[in-house]
Structure 1
Amino acid sequence: MLRRAATIRLAAFLVLAGGCGAVRAEPPPPTVVQVSPPLGAARARPDQGLVVRAQGGPLQRVVAHSGGVPVRGDLDAAGTTWRSRWTLKPGAEYSVIVTAAGRTVAAGRFRTRPAGRALQLTATAPLPGETVGVGMPVILDFGSPVRDKAAVERALEVTAGRPVEGAWRWIGDTRAVYRTRRFWSAGQTVTVTAHLAGVRAAPGLHGTADRTFAFTVGRHQATEIDARTHRMVVRRDGRAVRHMAISAGMATTREYTTTSGVHLTMDKGHPVRMISPGRDEGDPGYYDVMIDHAVRISDSGEYVHAKDNVWAQGRRNVSHGCVNARPDQAAWFYSHSLRGDPVVITGTDRELEWDNGWGFWQLSWEKWRAGSALLAPGPLP
């Protein structure tokens, strides 16, 4: 009996000892985070953005502000790295609070270094609030040459009411143009945001502020002009709404030949002064005239405009390269045109160059995308 009692007491001791061991298990190590730029920094690089990395567990939340404006960012799939979507504003103070495992694991402030020279967005097309045609590009002009085009292009955001595929193309060092793969859908709003604050466009050149504007895509209007048959048809939402007799370029020289291809209406004037190119007063073929209801479709002097030469319209091409129509019909076209309306011309042996005005639709989608800096970004010298 004594041996059995001792065995029972030993078993009970072992059970109690095992239970005590479970209670004394060590807690998991705390989550450790790294904030970049480091908290407390006084001259952080704004072009690097804000990055928070965690070790020992996932992040729950990252809250960052500057001047009351929140910094938007995203967690990776593992939940251990958070990155700001855009670069940071130069010369600004940022506050950061990081939460993990139900508690604050990092909190503090840092300041970004000020910009040397400021990258300015000097002009946009469309204009803010403008209603445009379905072929309208987005054109951004910068006040200084952009050397790191990939960095700037990454900061450009286009959001359409109906999702669309589009791409930027650089034309020189100061202009970026966005074109969709296919025409915009009619009747929607498009918002363009240039997240330029903090972007390093060149050594010593940074964006200092973001810029946002919106425009509306109006009805779907497209015009077909055949220089051989001397006819023009305007279609709206797929339905022919106007037929016109026209006269195109006489084609005695290259400059007097109307270009064939996909044009876009660019602007209009009533009247517009037109002067013969490359000729002085007194030279053969010189002219200096005021033309009514003129809608420009290229940079090489081509317009669709009014002209009271009904004897040629519908029969012969006698113009200096423009397309002219009867005054009342040209006035109708003028009043019903929006910037960015497609005008497709056929029947001549002179092709519209893709960089003649807004001839961007002359390029295939693959060739258009080849002008994007993001396809083959190079290192900044």
Structure 2
Amino acid sequence: MAGVSLVLTAACSGSGADTTGAEGDSGGGDPVEVQISPEDGATEVRPDLPITVTAANGTITDVQVTQSGGESDAQNGPEGETGASEGEEGGEEEAGDAFDAITGTLNEDETEWTSDWTLTPGSQVTVTATAENEGGEETEVVSEFSTLAATAGQRLELQSNFPVSDDTVGVGMPVIVNFDLPVQNKAAVEAAMEVTSEQPAEGAWNWFGDQMVVFRPKEYWEPNQKVTVNMHLAGVQASEGVYGVENHQLDFEVGRSQISTIDSDTHRMTVERDGEQVQDFPTSIGKATTRAYTTTSGTHLTMEKYQHLVMDSATVGIPEGHPEYYKLDVNYAVRFSNSGEFTHAAPWNGQLGEANLSHGCPNLSTEDAKWFYENSYMGDPLVITGTDRELEVDNGWGYWQRSWDEWLSNSEVGEADKTDEAGSPGSPFGEAGESGETE
């Protein structure tokens, strides 16, 4: 990356400097040498390269970065719209001015400043740096340059996310982000997504394919707190020549702690609220005559719920005409996997609490199913024990099936994110190469 090196004294500084006194006065001292990269006048600067400011014979006192005319400005709708296309789920609200601001970090001796986040493609950027020498004389240097625009068809966009802003969720809720294009530079994208919470926690991202990434804390979230996800995606090079074009911010609430357990052997479902048992339901789970009719054991999360649902076995591979085919109207259904498992009312089952007779779903009385339906948040843990079919990590939201050590080892960054601290592990920047910038 090319730079511009300027040696300025107070007499030739742009503003705020004391220009009185002759050279060599006691207030002078050695002049400050300030260097900004990218250099003034550069064009088509890769947006995934950092801004750096260095000072010799002095310290950096202030750096301001402004962007205008970026591609996110052209693509966003009116302020407050989500930025998702019509019909998409969960596209998060566009970031405001404060979130879009390019912040930076000073080294310990305050002689080098490096930007924290990437730049918006196709934008005009102005960097204003202020430094002072030992005598307190200030020097201001400005660099103005433009960034490379993202190419049509190579613009990484947020397709959906769970939860969405303003949701209240259970203590097991992950953050699930789906992109519209494959991501190859996964570590850079992980590093661009900053997760903060009011209560201290540590967590990490895991990828499931090239277009979905999931954040999970080491332990369940502490209840009754706010979590924020700042997705600094604008300018991140997700794959070769593919750049994020917009930042997103997600704010959700973690509600009370509710953890439910179903024991295949006792045929009971218990519910604990904030550490105290509040319900004990008789149930009947999968009869286990086939794998399809065996309820999965493990730590599940409640995903969605329906007051009324038609359950058709054709959707899980048992077509009409098959001896085991069924099509049932059920009430108060709460999904907890993608293999067709729901808790639901089953008034026809006369052996609740006595035997496992279902096609895989935990059957409950209508009253009990209604209570669970009405009192469940998305992301509440539901632990099932005693069957010989283990829940897969990618079956629904089975992410708690991985131990923390295994989860952390599957992170491309490979380092835990401490959510009570600003920033994220790793770097969102690419490596400087032959296409760093042109003049």
* Letter aligned with residue 312 of structure 1: Q
* Letter aligned with residue 114 of structure 1: A
* Letter aligned with residue 52 of structure 2: V
Question: Is structure 2 residue 302 aligned with structure 1 residue 265?
Answer: yes
* Letter aligned with residue 285 of structure 1: E
Following superposition, the deviation at residue 225 of structure 1 comes to: 0.6
Following superposition, the deviation at residue 278 of structure 1 comes to: 2.2
Structure 1: stretches of 5+ with no match in the other structure: 1-22
The equivalent residue for 2:85 is: none
Question: Is structure 2 residue 274 aligned with structure 1 residue 243?
Answer: no
Cα deviations across residues 152-197 of structure 1 (Å, max 9, x unaligned)?
A: 1110011111121110011110001000001011111111111011
Following superposition, the deviation at residue 309 of structure 1 comes to: 3.4
State which drifts further: 131-140 or 35-44: 35-44
Following superposition, the deviation at residue 25 of structure 1 comes to: 9.4
**Cα distance between partner residues in 2 of 1:241 and 1:81:** 57
Q: Quick one: which of 142, 145, 148 aligns to 1:110?
A: 145
* Letter aligned with residue 32 of structure 2: T
Q: What does 1:330-341 correspond to in 2, within 5 Å?
A: 330-341=369-380
Q: What does 1:15-164 correspond to in 2, within 5 Å?
A: 28-67=29-68, 70-101=101-132, 102-116=137-151, 117-164=154-201
The answer to whether the 8 Å contact 2:39/2:143 transfers is no
The answer to whether the 8 Å contact 1:88/1:198 transfers is yes
State which drifts further: 305-314 or 357-366: 305-314
Question: Is structure 2 residue 386 aligned with structure 1 residue 347?
Answer: yes
Aligned residue for 1:366, secondary structure, equals helix
**Cα distance between partner residues in 2 of 1:258 and 1:107:** 64
State which drifts further: 177-186 or 104-113: 104-113
Following superposition, the deviation at residue 210 of structure 1 comes to: 0.4
**Cα distance between partner residues in 1 of 2:101 and 2:402:** 40
The answer to whether the 8 Å contact 1:264/1:341 transfers is yes
Aligned residue for 1:373, secondary structure, equals coil
Cα deviations across residues 13-64 of structure 1 (Å, max 9, x unaligned)?
A: xxxxxxxxxx899964322122111111122111012111122222121122
Q: RCO higher in 1 or 2 (8 Å CA, sep ≥ 6)? A: 2
Aligned residue for 1:59, secondary structure, equals strand
Following superposition, the deviation at residue 70 of structure 1 comes to: 4.0
Structure 2: stretches of 5+ with no match in the other structure: 1-23, 69-96, 416-425, 434-439
**Cα distance between partner residues in 2 of 1:235 and 1:25:** 72
* Letter aligned with residue 38 of structure 1: E
State which drifts further: 357-366 or 89-98: 89-98
**Cα distance between partner residues in 1 of 2:290 and 2:59:** 71
The answer to whether the 8 Å contact 1:35/1:52 transfers is yes
Cα deviations across residues 62-101 of structure 1 (Å, max 9, x unaligned)?
A: 1221247642111111211101110011111112221111
Aligned residue for 1:271, secondary structure, equals strand
Following superposition, the deviation at residue 227 of structure 1 comes to: 0.9
The answer to whether the 8 Å contact 1:248/1:322 transfers is yes
Following superposition, the deviation at residue 142 of structure 1 comes to: 0.3
Aligned residue for 2:266, secondary structure, equals coil
Following superposition, the deviation at residue 303 of structure 1 comes to: 0.8
The answer to whether the 8 Å contact 1:266/1:296 transfers is yes
Aligned residue for 1:293, secondary structure, equals strand
Question: Is structure 2 residue 228 aligned with structure 1 residue 197?
Answer: no
The equivalent residue for 2:329 is: 290
Length-normalised TM-score, structure 1: 0.90
Aligned residue for 1:361, secondary structure, equals helix
The equivalent residue for 1:233 is: 270
**Cα distance between partner residues in 2 of 1:131 and 1:167:** 21
Alignment CA distance shift 1:62-1:222 (3 Å): same
Q: Which structure has the larger Rg over C-alpha atoms?
A: 1
User: Once superposed, what is the RMSD of the aligned Cα atoms?
Assistant: 2.1
Aligned residue for 1:48, secondary structure, equals coil
The equivalent residue for 1:369 is: 408
Following superposition, the deviation at residue 338 of structure 1 comes to: 0.5
Aligned residue for 2:228, secondary structure, equals strand
State which drifts further: 221-230 or 51-60: 51-60
The equivalent residue for 2:251 is: 214
